[in-house]
A and B are shown apart, each in its own frame.
Chain A
Amino acid sequence: SQQGEEDPQALSIQEGENATMNCSYKTSINNLQWYRQNSGRGLVHLILIRSNEREKHSGRLRVTLDTSKKSSSLLITASRAADTASYFCATDSISNFGNEKLTFGTGTRLTIIP
Chain B
Amino acid sequence: KAGVTQTPRYLIKTRGQQVTLSCSPISGHRSVSWYQQTPGQGLQFLFEYFSETQRNKGNFPGRFSGRQFSNSRSEMNVSTLELGDSALYLCASSLAGRRKETQYFGPGTRLLVL
Contact = CB atoms under 8 A, between A and B. Distances in A.
Does chain A bind chain B?
Answer: yes
A107 B35 CA distance: 15
A56 interface: no
Given A97-B56, A101-B33, A45 B99 contact: no
B42 A106 contact: yes
Contacts of A105: 42
A106 B39 CA distance: 9
* Interface residues of A, dominant DSSP: strand
Interface in A47-92: 48, 50, 88, 92
Contacts of A103: 45
Nearest to A101: B56
A50 B100 CA distance: 8
* Interface residues of B, dominant DSSP: strand
A42 B90 contact: yes
Contact of A40 (B56, B88, B103): B88
Contacts, number: 67
Contact of B56 (A31, A48, A99): A99
B98 interface: yes
Contact of A101 (B4, B48, B104, B110): B48
Interface string B75-94: 00000000000001010100
A92 B108 contact: no
Given A30-B99, A31-B99, 20 more contacts: A31-B100, A35-B105, A40-B88, A40-B108, A41-B107, A41-B108, A42-B105, A95-B57, A97-B56, A99-B55, A99-B97, A100-B56, A101-B33, A101-B56, A102-B45, A102-B103, A103-B45, A104-B45, A106-B42, A107-B42
Interface residues of A, number: 27
B42 A48 contact: no
Interface string B47-80: 0100000011110000000000000000000000
Nearest to B41: A2
A43 interface: yes
A97 B57 contact: yes
Interface in A1-35: 2, 30-31, 33, 35
A99 B58 CA distance: 11
